């Protein structure tokens, strides 16, 4: 894309973000551009839906969307981008399973109540599976914990196998988390993912999904 088109696009994104952050005239929260991924806007509603679904590094929570929520969402998008470049895929059956585990028809009803198409939620579920698959292939498959590591973590004395197994799992999870964190710090320097200048949270969530069983 030519430089002047990029500048024009970014100016439009910033203008939309500044205009959108807040509430409509009738007091309802409105959507807003909060970041860019390869010159494509990231909407507040993207982060809101990811948080409501508990995917892409976010946990379901009430209240405004925070800068930390946005940061976790963008970090997950780094992994999605890397997974796509590495041709990592997840099957439609896996997406179907994730959809059913997230509520299936009941989730569809909750989404419909706030005017959201199920396909949007399914795309976020697929992205979350991609992140998990990327972390497995890139980090977890190379995280090895030896018996000596377990002995050092437990200290002197004998331990039953269940305790040793739990300790091994904990140490492996910590290794994966450290490696993933280091990768994210490096990836932020390489990938064109950026927040919109001058726009920061917290933001009123543009919608809220009802609790399970309460569309």
Q: What CATH number does residue 91 fall under?
A: 1.10.4030
Domain that includes residue 42, residue range = 3-127+177-195
3-state class of 175 per DSSP? Answer: helix
98, part of any domain: yes
145, part of any domain: no
- pTM of this structure: 0.81
Looking up tokens 């508990």 gives: 54
Phi and psi dihedrals of 212, rounded to 5? -55, 130
What is the arithmetic mean of pLDDT over 150-162?
A: 92
* Residue 185: count of CB within 10 angstroms of its CB: 10
What pLDDT does 198 receive?
A: 83
What pLDDT does 85 receive?
A: 93
Position 158 confidence tier, pLDDT thresholds 50, 70, 90: confident
The per-residue pLDDT for range 102-151, each reduced to its tens digit, is 999 999 999 999 999 999 999 999 999 999 999 999 999 999 999 999 99
151, part of any domain: no
139, part of any domain: no
156, part of any domain: no
172, part of any domain: no
75, part of any domain: yes
In this structure, of 5-19, 80-94, 131-145, the range with the lowest mean pLDDT score is 5-19
Residue 202: cis peptide before it, omega within 30 degrees of 0: yes
Number of domains, the chain:
1
Position 29 confidence tier, pLDDT thresholds 50, 70, 90: low
166, part of any domain: no
């Amino acid at each position: 894309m030519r430089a002047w088109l990029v500048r024009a696009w970014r100016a439009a994104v910033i203008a939309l973000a500044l205009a959108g952050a807040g509430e409509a005239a009738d007091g309802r929260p409105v959507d807003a551009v909060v970041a860019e991924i390869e010159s494509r806007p990231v909407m507040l509603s993207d982060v809101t839906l990811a948080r409501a679904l508990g995917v892409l590094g976010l946990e379901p929570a009430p209240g405004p969307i925070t800068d930390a929520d946005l940061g976790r969402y963008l970090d997950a998008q780094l992994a999605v981008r890397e997974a796509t470049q590495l041709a990592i895929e997840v099957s439609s059956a896996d997406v179907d399973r994730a959809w059913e585990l997230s509520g299936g028809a009941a989730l569809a009803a909750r989404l419909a109540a706030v005017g959201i198409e199920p396909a949007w939620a399914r795309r976020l579920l697929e992205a979350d599976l991609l992140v998990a698959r990327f972390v497995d292939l890139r980090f977890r498959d190379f995280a090895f914990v030896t018996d000596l590591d377990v002995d050092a973590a437990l200290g002197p004395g004998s331990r039953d196998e269940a305790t040793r197994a739990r300790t091994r799992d904990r140490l492996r999870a910590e290794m994966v988390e450290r490696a993933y964190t280091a990768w994210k710090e490096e990836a932020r320097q390489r990938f064109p993912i950026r927040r919109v200048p001058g726009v920061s949270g917290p933001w009123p969530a543009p919608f809220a999904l009802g609790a399970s069983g309460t569309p």
